[in-house]
A and B are shown apart, each in its own frame.
Chain A
């Protein structure tokens, strides 16, 4: 394992987050290249395991970078990997949020929101199907996904119960 240059990592992540349109998934290949291939901070297997762990944990999916930071360098690692995430949000997003509240009926803003809404929905549908293919190994997995969709559309149960059910089904080997 190389010595950790936290300042360099911080700057690298800062730049990545500013170009990460479309969320954490878009920067994953570059994060992996930086921590595994260039700087040898974690092995490829560790990277995959830490990523999976952060995906199923509560909180933003982007926190997998924080988890790697903790694993590599403790609390300073947490700070160096988490603060860059906040910078675009606290500058650009606040500015756009401000303009959107100030001029909610500005024609350009309306055209952007109305025009892009279907694309956003199409992209999320793509994420859902990619996730389905990644986790469902046979027909029982797809059946359980279908069951989940049906229950959510028909009932107003708290989805946490469904996740607990999924965990039990997994433990007892049903899926």
Chain B
């Protein structure tokens, strides 16, 4: 899977600020997709496995997942200042963009061309998300149990539409207990 060597950022604050500004500004349709694309494929700061480890923790914690991921990547490469720089990069531009959108929304409402372009972009964004999941799934071990847990989570939330906290609360203890038993 890892075809090239990793290049870890050496000097922390500025590269972290700039990289997360870039991630957040490309972030149409799901920021975790772009975080993986930039950190794993372009900058090669993290391997697939390391990214997945951090993502799991980020999803487990309350708050926006992509923001939690940003804090943890920032902390890994630059401790407290790194985390602060990454978060500043992550939020500054979106705040300005959102204010700009608010102004546009008040003046122009919804043009038909604009709406149709949005539709086209959302369709591509759905495809990007799907390919992101497929790529991440390649690092799962080729055994029955992990895939069974993945399938159950998908069916519970995606097909039966049960509330996500319930599904996670029902599956997570078993998944962690089994992983715990396997490694000891």
Q: Give A residues with C-beta under 8 Å from B.
A: 17-26, 49-50, 52-63, 66-67, 70-71, 78, 82, 85-86, 88-90, 92-94, 96-98, 100-101, 107-108, 110-132, 134-136, 141, 144-149, 152-153, 156, 159-160, 162-163, 165-171, 173-175
Q: Tell me which residues across on chain B come within 8 A of A26, comparing CB atoms.
A: 164-165
CB<8 Å pairs between A and B, sample of 9: A20-B62, A53-B101, A63-B94, A70-B98, A88-B61, A97-B71, A118-B175, A166-B125, A175-B123
Residues of B close to A175: CB separation below 8 A: 119-120, 123
Task: Judge whether B62 and A117 touch: CB under 8 Å.
Answer: no
Cβ of A98: which chain B residues have Cβ within 8 Å of it? 75
Interface of chain B residues 27 through 41 with chain A (CB within 8 A): 27-34, 37, 41
A-contacting residues of B (Cβ < 8 Å)?
A: 24-34, 37, 41, 52-68, 70-72, 75-76, 80, 83, 87, 90-91, 93-95, 97-99, 101-102, 105-106, 110, 113, 116-137, 140, 146-154, 157-159, 164-165, 167-168, 171-172, 175-180, 183-184
For residue A46, which residue of chain B has the nearest CB?
A: B105
Closest 5 CB pairs of A and B: A170-B120, A148-B127, A59-B94, A126-B158, A122-B153
Chain B residue, CB-CB nearest to A99: B57
Q: Flag if B121 contacts A112 (CB, 8 Å).
A: no
Q: Write the chain A residue with the least CB distance to B53.
A: A113
Q: Which residue of A lies closest to B149 (CB)?
A: A118
Residues of A within 8 A of B165 (CB): 21-22, 26
How far, in Å, is B166 (CB) from chain A's closest CB?
Answer: 11
A23 touches B95 (CB 8 A): no
Chain B residues with CB below 8 A from A116, complex form: 56, 59-60, 172, 175-176
B residues in contact with A61, CB < 8 Å: 30-31, 64
Cross-chain contact A21 with B61 (CB below 8 angstroms): yes
Cα(A175)–Cα(B119), bound, Å: 8
CA distance A111 to B165 in the complex (A): 20
* A80 CB, min distance to chain B CBs, angstroms: 13
Q: Is the CB of B151 within 8 A of A97?
A: no
Q: A123-B154, A148-B131 are in contact. Are A107 and B105 (CB under 8 A)?
A: no
Contact present for B123 and A97 (CB under 8 Å)? no
Please give me the residue from chain A that is nearest to B122 by CB atom.
Answer: A135
Contact for A166 among B27, B30, B67, B124, CB less than 8 A: B124
A60 and B94 contacting across the interface, CB-CB below 8 Å: yes
- Hey, which chain B residues are within 8 Å of A119, CB to CB? 149-150, 153, 168, 171-172, 175
Which single residue of chain A is at the shortest CB-CB distance from B118?
A56
**CB contact between B62 and one of A21, A70, A141 (< 8 Å): that residue:** A21
Residues from chain A with a CB closer than 8 A to the CB of B153 are: 118-123, 126
Contact of A120 with B59 in the complex, beta carbons under 8 Å: yes
Chain B hits for A124, CB < 8 A: 32, 129, 132-133, 136
